[in-house]
Structure 1
């Protein structure tokens, strides 16, 4: 009898909004990644109700909403994140960076862009540009480019990383005869995973680092893009030293030691508030 009452009480609590949300949050934290369908079945409510609960928990900072579900805050601390998760993070900061980076692009120029949600935001901010040639290893950048902007678009070949929807391989394009053509660009826009005085520009994947490094080597000018959450960190693979960039584009002023190091390496710092 006592057990039945306890189960009934638990069931009633689960169906109350506050009780359900608390249990939902605990379940997501324990599981790491969930779908709306699974949660609706588990908690015995409609998909629309679960979506509203997840939206509220996301607004409260308890979890991160993704397409079709959610992930826990602890799980997104991993270095590699799926694209749909990364699209939800630092959205305002990335948009600020994208607008500043787009201003560096000149009409009629050739640009290279690596894969990433920051460079994807840049692609969407090129709508006022014309006659651009864009080469990228991102599968998401080409459809994001406004048609009125583009003269030619190229995607570098290689193995596809489904986690990031990018290719990894050499920076080369084959000719009609099969031989690789030598390519170069006016500006490389490179989003990195971390930046520090000691480590320079770094990322978590070795193959990505090699591709980004090669883009930099083929560019007349280089703009490194990173939001403020990347300051003072160092990841597994170095992309380049600080001096490899002409511009460092970010959403707010970096710590003084990084500002000083950028200045010493003749890198122009570009933020929404000031250019130094």
Structure 2
């Protein structure tokens, strides 16, 4: 963040695009604690045939129906909901006694318990169906996952928040930097932006090669010589880093070696 702010300090009080965006095709659980999920459990789904349909382009939250299958629905719909409670190794579900929107349900669960329920397997799905007793019930699955455009993991966050929620959603899926905070914005807006560049440092060395055998053709042996130099220098206390590469530089006549 410090480097980005330095690069864009001329426009510090304006807005700058950064490479974060909301992938509308991705679904993720409200509870992000990786320790809660076993192998494959984070990807458990029980969608009804033909779902998620995103009808009208506004169905961004998952609801579990009495048949045990899931639909996507507008997050503003009012449904019962189920929360996760407990401690590591001893979690349980808590069914709500009232109906709320998905965001209201998430806030309630986070305030009073741990989070909206993640459904990790068929057993948990059946358990919630039984607890819901025929009611449509919000679960903690929502459409949209924040990603960096270079696909690097999102480990750092600096959101400007409203009620502890990022100021960004599917209507504002691209992220800008305003002063030192992130905010979602519609992607067609024209703003200054900050790029990331990798610079290659090159160093030219002239070497002297002595032939021990007059029959050798150094041009033909150039590849083998280079490979041996790479291996020798890397093994010698890792004198060459893993991102360092050696290459011959050819002269204007296309040859590498010239007699002194």
Name the TM-score, length of structure 2 as normaliser: 0.21
More helix by share: 1
- Under a length normalisation based on structure 1, what TM-score does the superposition of the two structures give? 0.20
Larger of the two Rg values belongs to structure: 2
Q: Which has the higher contact order (CA 8 A, sep 6+)?
A: 2
